Each structure stands twice: as C-alpha cells, then as structure tokens.
C-alpha cells in the first residue's frame, strides 16, 4: 500500500452549492478515516486549500477515491507519493490508579 499526500485547491467560492455538499463530504471523509484509507485531512483558514493523506495501492486508485468524494467537482488536486510520513499519535489519556 502506498501513501499519497493530496494537495487540493478549492476552485469555487463558498456558496450554497458548496455548502449543501459539506455534510455529505464530512461523512464521506470520516468513513475513509474509519477504514484507514484517509489518515488525516486539514483545511486552510481561508478555505482555499486542503491537504490529506490517502493510503492506496496506486495513484490511479487514490484519484478514484478523490473523484468519489461529493465535492470532487469543486477541487483540483495534485498527488505526491510519500516515502515517509510520521504523525504525533493522539494517544490515550494517562490512567489514574485512584
């Protein structure tokens, strides 16, 4: 399995069309996170760009995953295959033995 950094530029200004897709987009992203396909995503403060990390067998598969997203018609993407990616773990809270 390969890991890809997705750099997405949002091509449209935020309006009703985009706002209506947002709930479906969030559900879709969380499903991908739950199955381990998407390891993180973040959006710029001005909402013009987004970044994500996708696990896929090939660049073609990664692009197919992106094209299946509800907001795919509103973004242009650049994929970067990663050689290394490390994230700080969310971790679990320390256990108290009270």
Q: What are the tens digits of pLDDT across the range 46-94?
A: 888 999 999 999 999 999 999 999 999 999 999 999 998 877 766 667 6
pTM value > 0.75: yes
Report the distance separating Cα 24 and Cα 2, nearest Å.
26
Domains, the chain, with CATH or none? 2-81 (3.30.70.1060)
Residues in Cβ contact with 48 at an 8 Å cutoff, skipping those fewer than 6 apart: 9, 10
Q: Give the span between the Cα atoms of 38 and 53, in whole angstroms.
A: 6
Question: What is the pLDDT, as a whole number, of residue 49?
Answer: 94
Confidence of residue 95 (pLDDT cuts 50, 70, 90): confident
CB 8 within 8 A of CB 67: no
Let me know: does 43 contact 49? Beta carbons within 8 Å. Answer: yes
């Amino acid at each position: 399995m390969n890991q890809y950094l997705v750099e997405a530029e949002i091509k449209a200004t935020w309006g009703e069309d985009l706002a209506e897709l947002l709930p479906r987009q969030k559900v879709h992203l969380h499903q991908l996170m739950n199955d381990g396909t998407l390891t993180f995503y973040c959006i710029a403060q001005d909402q013009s760009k987004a970044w994500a990390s996708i696990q896929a067998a090939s660049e073609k598969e990664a692009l197919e995953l992106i094209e299946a997203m509800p907001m795919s018609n509103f973004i242009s993407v650049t994929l970067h295959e990663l050689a290394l990616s490390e994230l700080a773990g969310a971790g679990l809270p320390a256990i108290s033995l009270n």
